[in-house]
Structure 1
Amino acid sequence: MAQENDIVLIYFEDNPLMFARIEDISPDVKRDWYHVKLLLLQIPLQVVTWILRDVYINGEEFTMNGKKMRMEEVICPEQPEIPEPSQEEEEAPKNSGDAKVISLTNRKKN
């Protein structure tokens, strides 16, 4: 289940619409319903509070004004593993001699 400070992607009619950060989840008076305060990550920033069932916070589809909506927790992708340089690459000179260094401090303004 998405929790406070998690980033979610909000889908509108099966199309990704916007990202939001969950600011607060507090129980509603009805059992299994919650007030979910969202910071919509758009310009300008906007804060909204939706009353959702626990299954909707978990990603199940719901409707809002007759339109299909869904929230999906965003998981940070794994960083690709960077291969270690081989012995030959480490010994190879970094500057092939064709490169030219240009000093920007000596340039005059026109």
Structure 2
Amino acid sequence: MAQENDVVLIYFEDQPMTFARIESIQADHKPDWYHVKLLLLQVPLQPVTWILRTAYIDGAEFTMNGNRMRMAPVVCPDDALPEIPEPEEDAPPDPGGKDGRVISFPGLKKP
């Protein structure tokens, strides 16, 4: 089941509509139903609370006012991050670099 702080993509009639972050999931008085508070990530930000079953929180299709809806978890793809090659131990020093020292930015402030 999706959890608090997860980001989901909300589909409306099989079309992606908006991203949302799950703010909270509170149990309803009916078994297997929950009050799901979502922050719709659009301009302006909009908080909404939907009453959903566990299956709907997990991505099953449901209807709202006769329209098909579903939520899909957003997962960062592995290829979204650039690969950083490991430095070779016998590699010559970087000609454009300065001997690999770390420079503190606060130390560069002019008085």
Same fold flag (TM > 0.5): yes
Matching of residue 42 in structure 1 with residue 39 in structure 2: no
Task: Describe the SS at the equivalent of 1:56.
Answer: helix
Q: What is the match of residue 108 of structure 1?
A: none
* TM-fit CA distance, 1:6: 0.6
**Structure 2 partner of 1:21:** 21
Measured after TM superposition, the shift of residue 76 of structure 1 is 1.7
- Asked if 1:33 corresponds to 2:26, the answer is no
What 5-or-longer segments of structure 1 have no aligned partner? 95-110
Look up the equivalent residue of 2:57 and give its one-letter code: I
Question: What do the CA deviations read for 1:1-55 (whole angstroms, capped 9, x no partner)?
Answer: 2100111000000010000000010000111000000000111111100000000
Identity of aligned residues (%): 69
Following superposition, the deviation at residue 86 of structure 1 comes to 7.4
Q: Which amino acid aligns with 1:22?
A: I
- Alignment RMSD: 2.1
Secondary structure at the aligned position of 2:2 is classed as coil
CA displacement at 1:75 relative to structure 2:
1.1
Match of 1:17, SS? strand
Shift of the 85–25 alpha-carbon distance from structure 1 to 2, 3 Å rule, reads same
Partners in 2 of 1:14 and 1:71 — Cα distance?
Answer: 10
Segments of structure 2 that go 5 or more residues without pairing to the other structure are 97-111
Rounded Cα–Cα distance in structure 2 between residues aligned with 1:3 and 1:92:
45
TM-score of the pair, normalised by structure 2? 0.74
Structure 1 residue 51 and structure 2 residue 76: aligned?
no
| 1:47 partner SS | strand
TM-score, normalised by the number of residues in structure 1: 0.75
The C-alpha deviation readout for 1:62-109, integer Å capped at 9, x for no partner, is 01011000001111222242234779x966854xxxxxxxxxxxxxxx
1:83 to 78, 82, 85: 85
Match of 1:67 in 2: 67
